[in-house]
Amino acid sequence: GYLAGQNFRRIDELELNRLTYLNLAFANPDKDGELVFDGGLDIAPVVNKGHAAGLKVFVSLAGGGQPDTAVWKSLLLPENRFSFVRHIVDYVERNSLDGVDVDIEGNLLPTIRESYNPFVVELKQALHAKAKGITAALGATHVHESVTQEAIDSYDFINVMAYDKTGIWSP
């Protein structure tokens, strides 16, 4: 399940026993590559409650909203990518997370095109070296051409966004 930052305060209302994974949505990098949630939310209470319920807790990156494409594009340049991946892994370890969910979609994926695959492969290697997981959220009806088979094979599993087919945007 995905829990948006604005709903962290509602963690006690959730039936956590019905989940296996809890993805905290959404963290995005600042210009220096440090991950932050809108409003500077403290994720520790949510991580602790998820772990107490026996869940794997992941940070979910980017999201379907409007992440800063210029920042992402800069951080994913070959000369910046290693440092950015290191920042992500440090964030995961510092916050006792079990891994990263890559939810790069919407306005961001077409912007970073050729950077997606090498980023995912490098992030997988860095996370697996620390015994951490990596997943993705991908659309049920269309996968952007930037998402190569090599990237797909890098994920431990994929969350299929079946709701993308219809919703308030296309009743």
Dihedral sign of CA atoms 135, 139, 145, 146 in order: negative
Q: If you ran DSSP here, which 8-state letter would residue 23 be given?
A: E
Residues in the chain with pLDDT < 50? none
* Closest listed residue to residue 27, CA positions, set 56, 1, 68, 59: 59
Instruction: Give the per-residue pLDDT at 161.
Output: 82
Q: If you ran DSSP here, which 8-state letter would residue 144 be given?
A: -
Which pair of tokens denotes residue 119? 């980023």
Instruction: Give the per-residue pLDDT at 52.
Output: 98
pLDDT in tens, 101-120: 999 987 898 899 999 999 99
pTM comes to: 0.93
Instruction: Give the per-residue pLDDT at 165.
Output: 63
Instruction: Give the per-residue pLDDT at 163.
Output: 67
